[in-house]
Structure 1
Amino acid sequence: MASYYDVDAILTDSHKLPCKFMLTVPGLGYIDGNVGEDMKQGTQVELPLWLGEVMAVSAVGTQLIELDLPDALSTRIMNALQADAKTVDIRALAPHFYTLAARILELFDEKGMVEILDEVLKVPKRAAEIADQAHNPRGALGEGAEFLRGLDETERQLFRVAHDSAKAVRTWMTELKKA
């Protein structure tokens, strides 16, 4: 569970989800840009994850809205990740891609998505490439900078830890040789 003040969690919860209103809601038209109007049944809008979740689970008896998967986790993207995970710029899809996926999986029963995302991070997919780039002494320079631009925040944290670890080992080895 993320801290209340976790910036990454806040940014993840602000990611927009496609939603469809299952009922007409009086006075809620401002969400769709129609101030003073009702939100009509069947209207499709994009709502922040936190709001969509609250509205989807808060209805008593009748479902107020129906949530759909965000584009970043669509079948098309899952297929692309399965085909060649290293070529997918997940940061462009969602800066907090894996955190978003974890939150979505709390709401949707998507066993196939779990398997795909689990495979994406395993060797020889993205994690191996992140480790290779992080162990390069030049790290985020040259080609590495381009590589870093495509990583989501979780992968960037993984890169930083691996890079700092490799740097510490090199420093230790240098000190050992001096002694």
Structure 2
Amino acid sequence: MGSYYDIDSILTDSQKVPCTFELSVPGLGYLSGNAGGDMKQGTRCELPLWLAEMLAVSLGNSAPITLDIPDALSQRVLNALKASPRSVDLRGQAPHFYRLGTRILDLFEDEEIVDVLTESFKKRAAEIADHAYNPRGALGEGADFLQGIDESERELFRAAHSSAKAMREWMGEMKKK
């Protein structure tokens, strides 16, 4: 979890996640599209992660909601990442995909998600670094891949790109000496 003023943490916490209400709550029907009505027990809806987390862990075993794994981390997405991490548009799943995964793993113990996210990040990081060091690749066949990277990967790309640029400049200065 980032600092209070970290915009990426704020945006991650605002990501909608699926939940199921475990009890009826008067006056909350508007959350599921039932304006002015009650939230009935068993109703599924999506709430921002920050609110869903508070409601899911607030009272222990008698929490008003059950939090479910978001679609961005569904078995379908995990299987696609296992098969070919490069082919998955993570940005389309969630702009802050890895941060969302980290936050969800704070709430769920799921070794498969840990393993898949770790391996995917490693494989995608190598690809991102390659595109950052080779600008021609980022403009050509790598353009589609780079459009689908999440915000953490974009930070990685910017860092790798600026370090490659600084290295080229330093090498140019060394040749002049």
Q: With structure 2 as the length reference, what TM-score do the two structures score? A: 0.94
Q: For residue 121 of structure 2, what is the aligned residue in structure 1?
A: 121
Instruction: Give a deviation string over 1:58-99, Cα, whole Å, max 9, x none.
Output: 236623111101000001111110111000111100000000
Alignment partner, residue 131 of structure 1: 129
More helix by share: 2
Deviation at 1:144, TM superposition (A): 4.2
Distance 2:145 2:116 in 1: 21
Q: Which residues of 2 match residues 15-164 of structure 1 at below 5 A? A: 15-59=15-59, 62-122=62-122, 125-138=123-136, 140-164=138-162
Following superposition, the deviation at residue 138 of structure 1 comes to: 4.3
Counterpart secondary structure, 2:139:
coil
Count of paired positions: 177
Q: Secondary structure at the match of 1:117?
A: helix
Looking at structure 1, the residues matched to 61 and 117 of structure 2 have their Cα atoms a distance apart, in angstroms, of 34
List gaps (5 residues or longer) in structure 2: none
Root mean square deviation, CA, Å: 1.5
* CA distance, structure 2, for counterparts of residue 165 and residue 144 of structure 1: 19
Distance 1:38 1:142 in 2: 53
Whether the aligned pair in 2 keeps the contact of 1:137 and 1:167 (CA below 8 Å) is no
Structure 1's 145 and 37: CA in aligned 2 closer, same or farther, altered over 3 A?
same
Distance 1:48 1:107 in 2: 14
Give, in whole Å, the separation in 2 of the partners of 1:163 and 1:144.
14
SS in 1 for 2:84: helix
Distance 1:88 1:149 in 2: 11
Q: Which runs of 4+ in 1 moved over 4 A?
A: none
Pairing partner for 2:174 from 170, 173, 176: 176
Q: Give, in whole Å, the separation in 1 of the partners of 2:60 and 2:94.
A: 32
Deviation at 1:36, TM superposition (A): 2.1
Whichever residue aligns with residue 169 of structure 1, its letter is M
Deviation digits for residues 142-177 of structure 1, max 9, x if unmatched?
444433211100000001111100110000111111
Aligned counterparts of 2:26 and 2:42: Cα–Cα separation in 1: 14
Identity of aligned residues (%): 64
User: How far apart, CA to CA, are the structure 2 residues paired with 1:60 and 1:86?
Assistant: 39
2:45 partner SS: strand
Conserved? CA contact 1:139–1:163, under 8 Å: no
